[in-house]
Structure 1
Amino acid sequence: MATNKEIDKILRNNNVGPIMRAGDLADAVVEAAISDNPGKDIKVENKNAYIRISACSEMRLTRESIELELGRPFRMNEIEIDMASFAGRIKMSTDEVVFYYTTNLQN
């Protein structure tokens, strides 16, 4: 059974972002997350088969940054192929994807 401290930590988790299948695209998304979200603490958890990429409350990824990292043209809907899951809500356009929470949990 979870302790009150563990439950409090879970309830205060405002992290959002993709969970990517490991590979070239996941590596590019990590680098894009860092460059597209200046000043934000980007967390990267490498679980070998997949990589969890997260930031507090909001994370933006641009097509331009991913293309730069991959070294080739990239369509934003390609991210869905290697994205096993994600945390938060998602808003996608042809030029960017934004992961976000509309309401933050307790701080």
Structure 2
Amino acid sequence: MRRHPLTDRPDYLVGPVVRGFDPDIVDALQTALEKDNPGSELFVDDNTGYVRIHAQRFLRVTRASLSEALGRPIDLPSLEPAIAGFAGRMKYTGDDELTWYLAREDR
């Protein structure tokens, strides 16, 4: 994982901006994103009040990985209060996966 202020081609980065009010959620989401995106370099920018977790072009998190990292079951839509924003486009794939991606899929 590389930590930087997200200045290396920010136009290609996608992923959530997570509110820092629940550090357990932030840590679990980061752990799950690392597990669900092997080979992708995550860029983490911790600004105390919020944390940007991004990767280039595509990022996914599964309910299974997030539940495992958190140590309890969690539904992906319950993350919405913690997500202050995101880069790219965001899409739920059923109840089991949430993705952020760069390009529209309907073109």
Q: Does 1:98 align with 2:96?
A: no
CA–CA distance in 2 between the matches of 1:12 and 1:75? 29
Residue ranges of structure 1 left out of the alignment (5+ in a row): 1-8
Q: Does 1:79 align with 2:79?
A: yes
Pick closer, same or farther for the CA change 1:47–1:72 going to 2, 3 Å.
Answer: same
Secondary structure of the 1:13 match is: helix
Secondary structure of the 1:44 match is: strand
Corresponding residue number in structure 2 for 1:63: 63
Q: Does 1:40 align with 2:46?
A: no
Structure 1 position 12, deviation (Å): 6.3
Amino acid at match of 1:97: L
CA RMSD of aligned residues (A): 1.7
| TM-score normalised by structure 2 residue count | 0.83
Q: Quick one: which of 10, 15, 18 aligns to 1:17?
A: 15
| TM-score normalised by structure 1 residue count | 0.83
* Aligned-residue identity in percent: 37
Residue ranges of structure 2 left out of the alignment (5+ in a row): 1-6
Number of residue-to-residue matches in the alignment: 95
CA–CA distance in 2 between the matches of 1:45 and 1:12? 12
Secondary structure of the 2:11 match is: coil
Larger radius of gyration: 1
Secondary structure of the 1:19 match is: strand
CA–CA distance in 2 between the matches of 1:11 and 1:94? 31
